[in-house]
Amino acid sequence: MSLELHGLLTLGSLRLEAHLEVGDEIVAVTGANGIGKTTLLRLIAGLLALDSGSLRLHGRLLDEAASGLFVPPHRRQVGLMFQDHVLFPFSTALENVAFPLRRQGLGATEARRRAQRQLDHYGIGALADRRPPQLSGGEAQRVALARALVGRPAALLLDEPLSALDAGARAEFRRLLRDQLSALPGPKVLVSHDQLDSAQICDRAVTLCWNGSAVVIRPAPP
C-alpha cells in the first residue's frame, strides 16, 4: 500500500483511531459532520501529529510517535486542498500556481511559464492575472486544484472540494477532478458528505463512525 496509517490521535474531545491503507487509488472518506474527517486529512498532511502509531507514504516513515520522528508538512510532498480554496489573496491566480514550483527551487520565469501552462490545461488560462476576490467559486476551486497538483505531490488530500460550488459548476468540476486525479499516480483521499460525488469520483469509500469508545474508519456500506 502507498499510504499506511495506523495510529491514534486525541484532539480535544476527539479520539480518532485511524487505520487506513490507500494504494494507487482515489478513496472517499464520508461520515457525519464534525466527526473528524478534516482532522484525518490534517494528520496525513502533517498539520497534526500522531499520539501513537505511525504513518508511512510509499514506504517512507512520516510520523512515528514511539521514536518521535515527525516529517514537517513542507517535506512530505503531500498536497492538501482546503474546503474553500485558501488561495493567497495578495497573489494573482498565476502567482498562486507558481508558488509550489518556486518552493521546489524553480526559477521565477520557468515557474511562471509552467504555471501558465497548468492554468491553460485547466481551461482557465485567461484568468492568470486575476486575484482570488475576482474569481467565481468554481474558478477559484480550479485554481486551487491547479496549485495543489502542479508540483506533482506524492499524495493528494481534498477536503470537500465540491461543497462550495453550485449545481452547474459542480458537475463540471466533478469531471475535472475525476480526470486530474486519475492522471496523478499515488494515493488520493477525498473527504465528501455527498454520496454522488464520492461514487462518481472515487474508486472506493470508507466512513468515519463512533464505535462507543473512539472514532474509527470502516469500509463504507455499498
Partner 1 sequence: MARSVRHSPRLLRSLLPLSLLAVLFLALPLVGLLQGVRWTSLLSDLAAPQAREALGLSLLSSLLATALALLLGLPLAWSLARERFPGRELVRALVILPMVLPPVVGGLALLGAYGRSGGLIGGWLHQALGVQLTFSLAGVVVAQTFVALPFLVLAVEGGLRGIDPRYEQAAATLGAAPLACFLRVTLRLLLPSLAAGTALAWARALGEFGATITFAGNIEGRTQTAPLAVYLLLESQPAAAYALSFALVLLSLAVIIGLRGRWWSLGR
72 is a site residue for partner 1 (CB under 8 A): yes
The verdict on 93 binding partner 1 (CB under 8 A) reads: no
Q: How far is the CB of 164 from partner 1 (least distance, A)?
A: 14
State which residue, 10 or 104, has the beta carbon closest to partner 1. Answer: 104
Output the smallest distance, CB 5 to partner 1, in A: 17
**What is the DSSP track for the chain?**
--EEEEEEEEETTEEEEEEEEE-SSEEEEEESTTSSHHHHHHHHHTSS--SEEEEEETTEEEEETTTTEE--GGGTTEEEE-TT----TTS-HHHHHHHHHHHTT--HHHHHHHHHHHHHHTT-GGGTT--GGGS-HHHHHHHHHHHHHHT--SEEEEESTTTTS-HHHHHHHHHHHHHHHHHS-S-EEEE-S-HHHHHHH-SEEEEEEE-SSSEEEEEPP-
Q: Any contact of residue 78 with partner 1 (CB under 8 A)? A: yes
Does the protein bind partner 1 through residue 145 (CB under 8 A)? no
Applying CB under 8 A, does 37 fall inside the site for partner 1? no
Among 8, 58, 71, 82, binds partner 1 (CB under 8 A): 82
Of the candidates 182, 187, 201, the one whose C-alpha atom is nearest the C-alpha of residue 20 is: 187
For the segment 159-218, give every residue that binds partner 1 (CB under 8 A): none
If one asks whether residue 77 binds partner 1 (CB under 8 A), the answer comes out as yes
Q: By CB under 8 A, which span of 39-47, 49-57, 161-169, 177-185 interacts with partner 1? A: 39-47
Contact map string, positions 16 to 35, toward partner 1, x by CB under 8 A: --------------------
Binding residues for partner 1, rule: CB under 8 A, are 45-47, 72-74, 76-80, 82, 86, 88-90, 99-100, 103-104, 147-148, 151
